[in-house]
Amino acid sequence: MKKILSYIWPITRKFPSEFNGTLEISYVNGKKVLDTKNANYSYGSLQKILEIGLTKVNLKSVENLLLLGLGGGSIIQSLRETFEYQKNIIAVEIDPEIIKLAKDEFGISPSNTLQIVQADAYEYVKTSKNKFQLIIIDLFIDTTVPSKFFKKEFCDNVSKLISINGELVFNIGVNLEKDTEIASSIIDNFGIKFKFYSLKKVNGTNHLLIGKKVS
């Protein structure tokens, strides 16, 4: 019934979050989505944006994937169902309420091939000893990526976790006024070990960086 009614008007439930303010689970046109006050977090436009990014990388060579920023888990759904990626994923999410909603509302639960870690991604990449062939960075608080994730220390720590010829998809922001400047700074921070190119205005809004570690 909720799905049917959602074609007439959205049906929304709200959940308080220490990190993200108010989280909203809504049925919109028959589909359940996760939003914050000003942004889609999962199963809407964001899912489409990251799917476009994933078409630019070689998932067949990926044995171990790191996802920084779980959201409701829509990109995990995309990886499993759309891209048929069935190997290991480690997902890092700072917000316990989002982890709970991902499980309760969208069926995203830990398994033999999915580990969900509640942690600050900035701290996680400092200490992880794993190597990954793909890292997806999608670290929003509402519509903003905290500036610490653009800094050299974070980029250096991410770089250490990526195998040679491994790849990176970095969602750097929504309708950024200085997106070219920010993208250039991030590319400089990763240095000569990486080759990057930009995808601007993906789905009309987001700027993605696609990188490959070449040395």
The answer on pLDDT for 155 being more than 50 is yes
* CATH for 208: 3.40.50.150
Within-domain flag for 7: no
For the chain, how many structural domains are there in total? 1
Within-domain flag for 152: yes
The answer on pLDDT for 6 being more than 70 is no
Within-domain flag for 26: no
Mean pLDDT of the chain: 91
pLDDT of amino acid 28: 74
Which of 164, 143, 178 is CA-nearest to residue 211?
A: 164
Which pTM value belongs to this model?
A: 0.92
Q: How many other CB atoms are found less than 10 A from the CB of residue 67?
A: 27
Averaged pLDDT, 98-105: 95
C-alpha–C-alpha distance, residues 74 and 104, integer Å: 13
Within-domain flag for 66: yes
- Start-to-end CA distance of the chain, whole Å, equals 55
- Residue 97: both structure tokens together: 């309420």
Domain range for 160: 47-213
